[in-house]
A and B are shown apart, each in its own frame.
Chain A
């Protein structure tokens, strides 16, 4: 968790002065880590409610929620898990909505390595990292992209898989993989592209990565949680979400 000291201080003051301030316990998909921190900061400044977020893979959260994990809301990396949670009565299906649509990029830490059209995928390289398609929606999108390009079967043996989209980026960040398919939100920092080179994969090469949020039945502070869900749909949150390269429906 990264809060600015000033933000923390402001939060503490608010907590001290506002007795009606609530807390939202959020399970958040790893690719949305930084955006949700920014949104939570704004949300707290505007409403006094705080957000306690845990970050991880959507599949892991699903298992935990099924087994009674103490969360009020899930911000998933896909739309199938929230759908399943709604159908199984673990969450409120009516509260479900798409808070962001993810974009896929091919990223390398080396400047000038990845070209503007992704031709490097047909060239010479040692290892390409993708998230495990069984576990991560961005892994599915990476596989779909490689399949659309007709490269999937030819690249077997050169593809390494991260268990989450964060580990996938870490493989490329340490230089152990030459490049990686990650979320656009991971290669943006303060609105600017981080060090390295990248190719934003055209939308027609993979199915849209719809990221849905849903309120869980284990919700404790429903007032703060409802306020947070409403805030996520508001102009301020949308501006932050867009600044990280996500689309909206």
Chain B
């Protein structure tokens, strides 16, 4: 039916992960060096989920994401240059310097925004799914959230709404074990998000979030279900956050050997091993070239952002309200 029946777009998945890796690596450094202000939360280690979900969606699909949303934005095709300029707080940033890392958005690409309120993406995506259904758009609305958000009332209310209204909502939980500084397994008697979801009568499946192809495959299946009108679907993607909750977090709460064990399961390495196993569809040199290209693209965006002027102070007053149309 679609090109998706041919199987995962392996090279594109790898390239997307490489771009996110390069972007987040440099953003962490630039933040440390004081070039990027505010708060920054990177998704290093979680690239497989962003790429797998992002590339499985169709044009026009909606994505509402979290404070850790750079990867999702990049995977949905947001411009690296405009994003970097926004993180640099420039007037030419995609949100004119008024959103920043935690609120970065591009509705033209279906990205309804990163969101600094844990759990807020869920009701918003359910609302976008309501629009899609009501307006007959055939669009899927994705909510990204972490397992920490599953203890928010917003999660439970949103899942229930999506279920009873049979909405095309795809709920993607990135279970990276930590809710800010706290081990999520100590924060609920039933730590399995998929299991908690079963109580609402919606289908849920667990996937290895560091295997982008697996995430892609499950997302294609789930999105097709949503588009068919079969109601919402929850994906629990198991992954790991390499850095702290925010850049600068010392991560004293993580056991010593945990991070190194997860780095063994680096999503880019997982993909490389899959290529090797399949007989070098892409060889080591090809992969290196992809990573270099990503790094170059990010460096160019950084240089561009550095060259931009600060926003004009008048920008602070723009866009609070939209103008009402004068009735005919």
The finding on whether chains A and B are genuine partners in a shared complex, rather than unrelated, reads no
Question: B-contacting residues of A (Cβ < 8 Å)?
Answer: none
